[in-house]
Structure 1
Amino acid sequence: MSDDRQKKAFPVSWDQFHRDARALAWRLAGAGPFAGIVCITRGGLVPAAIVARELGVRLIETVCIASYHDYTKQGEMEVLKPIADVVKGAAGAKGQGLLVIDDLVDTGKTMRLVREMLPEAHVATVYAKPLGRPLVDTFITEVSQDTWIYFPWDMGLSFQPPIRDGVA
């Protein structure tokens, strides 16, 4: 959540996320074939695995970008790991034939950075907010900008802080 205006909660269960990721794969089936998938970590890992399975894609790479340095404020963009040259070689340096996957496009800051890296890749997210939506080629569900999505990996019966924050 970037500020106090984000008050709406949109909890997503594992079942719902799996259905939505498979729906994304269904939409992407006609846009391929794809030489490989580049998932934006960490949120893109789960939908990338589902889409890769559904579309039969075996070449999967990550680009590791940190923008949320805690769960409430988006900060400066930091590329922790760039895209490997082997993936670019399979599809072309500009990403033609690659599929970029993330769970959500929010403000679009992360996606702008990835689009600079792979300007010709097809970009897909499960969820999209209005500020980031123009940067995505395919998505499943749009939510308002003031909505916070609680993904299943963040949830128990209530919000679960990561173990690294000292909660067991």
Structure 2
Amino acid sequence: MATSPTAPASNTDRPAPVFLTWDDIDAATQTLAGQVTAGGMPDVVVAIVRGGMIPAAMLAHRLGIRDVRTVEVTRTSGDGIHAVKTLLPTARNPASLGDLEGLDVLLVDDIVGSGATLARTASLLRDLGPARVRTAVLTVNRANWTQSTEPHRVIDHIASLNDTWIVFPWEGRHER
């Protein structure tokens, strides 16, 4: 995945965002698929809505998993670059996950910043009684990482690490 800025830096101290391509996403899901299969095949893939939907679907296709579910857990208050975050992640309609009792669950999101949304969602899933919950993300933004341990110690499968805001091709923003 691209990890260098492709847009000029703004007049703030923030690095310019990175604009990923579909080829970057394809390569990242291939990387994740290899990592996931090394640890055994999941029974179900769960996407964190909205950002995790496309990577989860792509990953499920690569893994041959037909059971794909979604849950909405969000922390950003808007869609803009460097959008403001809410204090805590908010889950909506967790009942949409259905029965996960005894299943091997793979939780997928596009990006992790602080790690709070992924941790909150993984906890929500564990409360539903699966045999195992693993996490997979396309990228981790280390500039926003707030946990005391390295991302690889908290997240099971990571395709790449970066240090700035990422714009994904499905977000429809093409400013460069």
Given the two structures, how large is their TM-score scaled by the length of structure 1?
0.79
Distance 1:87 1:126 in 2: 26
Distance 1:118 1:127 in 2: 21
* Residue 101 of structure 1: how far off its partner (Å): 0.5
Aligned counterparts, 1:105-120, within 5 A? 105-119=112-126, 120=132
Gapped regions of structure 2 (runs ≥ 5): 1-11, 127-131
Match for residue 107 of structure 2?
A: 100
- Matched-pair contact (CA < 8 Å) for 2:108–2:137: yes
- Matched-pair contact (CA < 8 Å) for 2:70–2:97: no
Aligned equivalent of 1:20, options 28, 35, 47: 28
- Supply the RMSD in Å over aligned alpha carbons: 2.0
Match for residue 156 of structure 2?
A: 137
* Residue 22 of structure 1: how far off its partner (Å): 1.9
The one-letter amino acid paired with 1:24 is L
Distance 2:161 2:106 in 1: 20
- Matched-pair contact (CA < 8 Å) for 2:48–2:71: yes
- Deviating 4+ runs (over 6 angstroms): none
CA 1:135 to 1:8, structure 2 compared with 1: closer, same or farther past 3 Å?
Answer: farther
Gapped regions of structure 1 (runs ≥ 5): 92-96, 160-168
Given the two structures, how large is their TM-score scaled by the length of structure 2?
0.76
Cα deviations by residue, 1:90-121 (Å, 9 ceiling, x for unpaired): 51xxxxx1100001111111012112123440
Identity %: 23
Is 1:6 the equivalent of 2:23?
Answer: no
* Residue 156 of structure 1: how far off its partner (Å): 4.8
* Residue 15 of structure 1: how far off its partner (Å): 1.8
